[in-house]
Amino acid sequence: MRLVFSFLFALFVALPGAARAEMLEGDALWQALRDGGHVVLFRHAIAPGGGDPASFQLGDCATQRNLDESGRRQARAIGEAFRQREVPVARVLASRWCRSTETAELAFGTAEPFPAIDSFFQDRARGPGQTEAARVRIQTFEGPGNMMMVTHQVNITALTDIFPASGEGVVLRPLPDNPKGFAVIGRLRAWE
């Protein structure tokens, strides 16, 4: 058994950098963001409940699960954390779901719809195609600044195997020549 463990550990250590990128925290993570060239996958801010109501319609926020006041405060705090630390934001892409768009607008003042990061929670068949389109967009981002993608837990987990909290960001370094397309370099709870 010890031999198997030793072999697996050696294999892990030998994996390419994308699979075992150094995880940054605190000031080091904020400095990486100030330097630019990263993508942050944000789960939308607090929106009580799960999934969407049966009456869900994409263009009608009244039929969707939306941010509550604590979610709106969280979204504003995310944006304030980026402004205070002078992190350059080049582009803000958002799911077309109202809770993602509102999070992006409250945090960063803008939101560009990007269907590849729409929720597929209730239609898992769409997941692989959307995940691939999002991965390609991440892989090809070069900056300057950073790109924010405000999306949903299901999308972030499909891309990174991370289950983020509401409002949490997963910071990625694009890797144009890597099949995965990026390395996860940190997790960000900008409102804390």
pTM of the predicted structure, to 2 decimals? 0.87
Q: Judge whether 84 lies within some domain.
A: yes
Q: What is the domain count for the chain?
A: 1
Residues 56 and 36: beta-carbon distance below 8 Å: no
Q: Judge whether 113 lies within some domain.
A: yes
C-alpha distance from residue 167 to each of 55, 91, 132, 137, 180 (Å): 25, 18, 23, 21, 24
Q: Judge whether 16 lies within some domain.
A: no
Residues 82 and 167: beta-carbon distance below 8 Å: no
Q: Judge whether 13 lies within some domain.
A: no
Q: Judge whether 10 lies within some domain.
A: no
Which 3 state secondary structure label does DSSP give 182?
strand
Q: Judge whether 52 lies within some domain.
A: yes
Q: What integer pLDDT is reported at residue 11 of this predicted model?
A: 37
Which 3 state secondary structure label does DSSP give 184?
strand
Q: What CATH number corresponds to the domain at position 72? A: 3.40.50.1240
Mean pLDDT by runs of 10 across the 192 residues of the chain is 39 39 92 98 95 88 96 98 98 98 98 95 74 96 96 96 97 94 95 75
Residue 127 belongs to domain spanning:
23-188
Residue with the two structure tokens 């699979």: 19
d(CA 5, CA 13): 12
Q: Could you tell me which of 85, 145, 158, 165 has the C-alpha nearest to residue 119?
A: 158
Q: Judge whether 90 lies within some domain.
A: yes
DSSP symbol at 60: B
Q: Judge whether 117 lies within some domain.
A: yes
